[in-house]
A and B are shown apart, each in its own frame.
Chain A
Amino acid sequence: MFRKIWLLFSVAVLSMGIAVMGWGKEPIKIVMRTLWHEADARAAEMIINLFNNTHDDIQVELIQGGWAEYNLQLKLSVLAGNPPHIGTLLPEKIVELKDYLIPIDASPIGNLLRFAEFDLADLRPLAMELVQVDGHLYGIPIDNNVMGVYYNKDIFRAAGLDPDRPPQTLGEFLTAAEAIKAAGFAAWHPDSDGLPRKLRRAWYILFWQLGGELFDENYTRATFNNSKGLLALRFLVDTFGAFGFNERGANGVTQFGAGLLGMMGGGNWYYLQFVNVPFDWGIMAMPSFFGPAYTRISGSVFVIPRQPPGTPPEVYEAIMKVISFFITNSHIWTMYGGHITAYTPALQHPDLIASDYWQRGGKFLAEALQKGLGRYEIVHPKGSELEDVIQTYIDLAIKGTITPEEALARAEKECNRILQGP
């Protein structure tokens, strides 16, 4: 009789114990919402799967995609009280959305960097440039994406150029372009498919290389309607006109893919578009047309949207753990996604160095970044609107509808009007 009771009692205690342990082991669920698609999304999935498989106490639910409407969705979800735990933003947008984010060094439970498993100093300075606002850290940079140049090695050979020494200075560039033109191909496309947004970026690059600044320090007025802006725009217009390096309105992506274009400016992500083409090609850093070889960069940053009040400290700790894991494994990110990780130690990972992307020329893009040759686009709450204005007029100038002088004048006028508005 007593034995039975004793048995029952110990079974009860044992099961309660197991249940309690089981409850204790209930993993913390972290929701990570990214704006990534395709290749970078796949790379992110790989990393997160690795995390989920190696951690029992934290499980990450990864939701990806939604590039165009991401910012609005983030805002709305914070307002509605159900934000994701981790978000990703373009660094230029942090200034706009910072009120919706938690400063990492001043979170509801103090400085979250104490939970980080990496050293902040190991993150590339260029990537860290835009994540500090008003003295607080609003995000952890993941990578930079870079505008480089894709060049067709077979065309280079046909034009009598050395396929392993692509042009790096203005003189070399013009020589190469003329040679390619003489060989019967289109020589140069400044930026991928030639839609207004891309042409604007191409102009930025030339303008920056000349030492120009788009706006003054406090964004009170436009400062691009000057000789530098004009020279940059004229160079761009002539590319399609007087120089004859390409036709107006050409789509560089389809041209290059079809083997008709010698050199195409484009972001590092085009690597995946061209991976299967039937000709030999490589990637080089943006040449120096007019000065230091600045190129246009952007990136991705991990941010923590404002969580509803009463969020337990373990959640914040888990968030930092996930971010740390991602950062320290970001060689995977670069290998499969193409963007250059901001975590310098990852750039030396043997897998990455051996990969096709790196060997084809990805390493040159990383070099440019480490040298600090990257510039971000407009960083201002009205940035999108200003850029829409600028690209309209750049596009019209290149299409030949208005003169470069007029284009810059009109763009300046409208930008100033927008900046002075509410």
Chain B
Amino acid sequence: MRKYLKRYRANDAIIGFLYILPYVACWSIFLAYPVGYGFYLSLFCWDPLRGSQFVGFTNYQRLLFDPRFINAILVSLKFVVMTVPLVIFFGALMAFGLWYLRHYKKIVSISQALFFIPYTLSVSVIAITWRWLLDRNVGFFQYYMSQIGLPVLLVDPSLALPTIAFVTTWWIAGYRMLIFQAALEDIPVEVVEAAIIDGASFRVLVMKIFFPLLKPAMTFAIIFTIVMAFQMFGQVFLMTEGGPGRSTELLALYIYRSAFDYLDLGRAAAAGFILGILVLSVSLVWIKKGMKSALQ
């Protein structure tokens, strides 16, 4: 019996390698190698024609002492802190609402589509659309908002970033809604309805039933959204160019400018890695939670 199991285990290892090989081949060539090379680049002052100079961690040092870079980090953190809860909240709200009304199949179907469609649009389209909608003169939203005395959102240094957070939420909450909907499908409906009839309070329902079921999905959604939020820059690039002032200059925008405008690839790579470390550390909390439930 043991021999059989041993052979099976060795067999397992071989099969494991075979199964993993195609993916790892693709990944190492097209993802790992560029990242590694990028790290290598960040240690240089990139000048391919005249000879790049090895400068060690100078790029990183200069960045950490650059007030503009620090500002970009802060703006990105602010953006993530605003966007992620909004996205999760709206996604969960929509999912819950749709689940609650699941008997009205037609309405649920249409509502679901309406919430989801923004996600299918590309970033340049939503940026242009919203920029236009929030225009003081011809924007459907801003025009009427200004009529009743509300400030012009994109132009106000303290309101621009929250506005972008809202636009981002509008864009991507639909997909989180789907994730949560899938999780909610697992709810034992009869148990819930029995509980309602028995007079269980809303709070009990939420705590004892919905939360535990949504937890894994929520953890995943949170990590996912955090990673996305740190890497986004299309919206600010097209809607505000990082302004007013620098209030919407996200780190990803700074990296893009370093690479494409200043053509300083060493600095861009270093900034990219700092961003990577930042994202990793912020997500680590949630990953640990996720790993715990995964290993259960």
Q: Do chains A and B touch in the complex (CB under 8 A)?
A: yes
A-side residues, CB < 8 A to B, are 68-69, 71-72, 75, 79, 96, 99-100, 195-197, 247-251, 254-255, 257-258, 260, 382, 384-385, 388-389, 391-393, 395-396, 399, 401, 414, 421-422
Supplied contacts A72-B259, A389-B68, 7 more A-B pairs, CB within 8 Å: A71-B260, A72-B263, A100-B49, A249-B156, A254-B137, A414-B68, A421-B62
Do A385 and B45 contact each other (CB < 8 Å), given the known contacts A248-B155, A251-B135?
Answer: no
Q: Which of A79, A195, A247 has the most CB of B within 10 A?
A: A195
Identify B241's interface contact among A197, A393, A401, CB under 8 A: A197
B-side residues, CB < 8 A to A, are 45, 48-50, 62, 67-68, 135-139, 152, 154-157, 240-246, 257, 259-263
CA–CA, A388 to B241, complex, Å? 10
Is A399's CB under 8 angstroms from B155's CB? yes
Q: Which of B139, B240, B245 has the most CB of A within 10 A?
A: B245
Is A249's CB under 8 angstroms from B49's CB? no
Label chain A's interface by main secondary structure: helix
Do A401 and B157 contact each other (CB < 8 Å), given the known contacts A68-B260, A195-B241?
Answer: yes
Identify B245's interface contact among A69, A382, A392, CB under 8 A: A392
Chain B's closest residue to A250 (CB) is: B136
Is A196's CB under 8 angstroms from B157's CB? no
Is A399's CB under 8 angstroms from B244's CB? yes
CA–CA, A290 to B167, complex, Å? 42
Do A196 and B241 contact each other (CB < 8 Å), given the known contacts A254-B135, A254-B137, A384-B262?
Answer: yes
Residues of B within 8 A of A72 (CB): 259-260, 263
Residues of B within 8 A of A422 (CB): 45
Is A388's CB under 8 angstroms from B155's CB? no
Is B245's CB under 8 angstroms from A396's CB? yes
Q: What are 19 inter-chain pairs, A to B, with CB distance below 8 A?
A: A72-B263, A79-B48, A100-B49, A196-B242, A196-B243, A196-B244, A197-B241, A249-B154, A250-B136, A254-B138, A384-B257, A385-B261, A392-B242, A392-B246, A399-B244, A401-B157, A414-B68, A421-B62, A422-B45
CA–CA, A323 to B139, complex, Å? 44
Q: Which of A79, A250, A257, A395 has the most CB of B within 10 A?
A: A395
Residues of A within 8 A of B137 (CB): 250-251, 254-255, 258, 260
Is A395's CB under 8 angstroms from B50's CB? no
Is B262's CB under 8 angstroms from A385's CB? yes
Is A249's CB under 8 angstroms from B155's CB? yes
Do A75 and B263 contact each other (CB < 8 Å), given the known contacts A195-B243, A196-B244?
Answer: yes
Closest 4 CB pairs of A and B: A249-B155, A384-B261, A396-B245, A196-B243
Nearest Cβ distance between residue A216 and chain B, in whole angstroms? 21
CA–CA, A71 to B257, complex, Å? 12
Is A96's CB under 8 angstroms from B152's CB? no
Do A96 and B263 contact each other (CB < 8 Å), given the known contacts A79-B48, A196-B241, A399-B155?
Answer: yes
CA–CA, A257 to B243, complex, Å? 23
Is A396's CB under 8 angstroms from B136's CB? no
Nearest Cβ distance between residue A248 and chain B, in whole angstroms? 7
Is B263's CB under 8 angstroms from A258's CB? no
Residues of B within 8 A of A257 (CB): 138
